[in-house]
Amino acid sequence: MYVSPLTIMTKVRKTKSVKYMPFCLSLAIFLDGLVWTINALITPFALTHAFGIYVMISTSIGAISGLVQLILYAYYWCMGENNVDDDAEHVLNLAVVSV
């Protein structure tokens, strides 16, 4: 779940646009991984039990993955090539033609 947007990340790097990368999903992945990692770190039972260590390792990877996605999003969003949404124009033109 955490690294599922890897294909989208490669598409963002190729097209140099964040048009196809959902910001909310990247933010949710980062926050989810961060919260569960903090939970595994502050729960005293978690580090002494094997389940807590597995939770901490997997969610830490998720938090790092989400952070990389957010950095990539911020970098290519600042480039400014994602401001034009071609799909919305096509839908709008189709709606005008059909009316």
The answer to whether position 35 is within a domain reads yes
- pTM score, two decimals? 0.69
What whole-number percentage of the chain has pLDDT above 70?
A: 68
The answer to whether position 62 is within a domain reads yes
DSSP category for residue 21:
S
Amino acid at 50: A
What sign for the dihedral angle of Cα 78, 20, 24, 34? negative
Q: State both tokens at 70.
A: 């957010």
What pLDDT score was predicted for residue 80? 66
The answer to whether position 10 is within a domain reads yes
Total of domains in the chain: 1
What whole-number percentage of the chain has pLDDT above 90?
A: 8
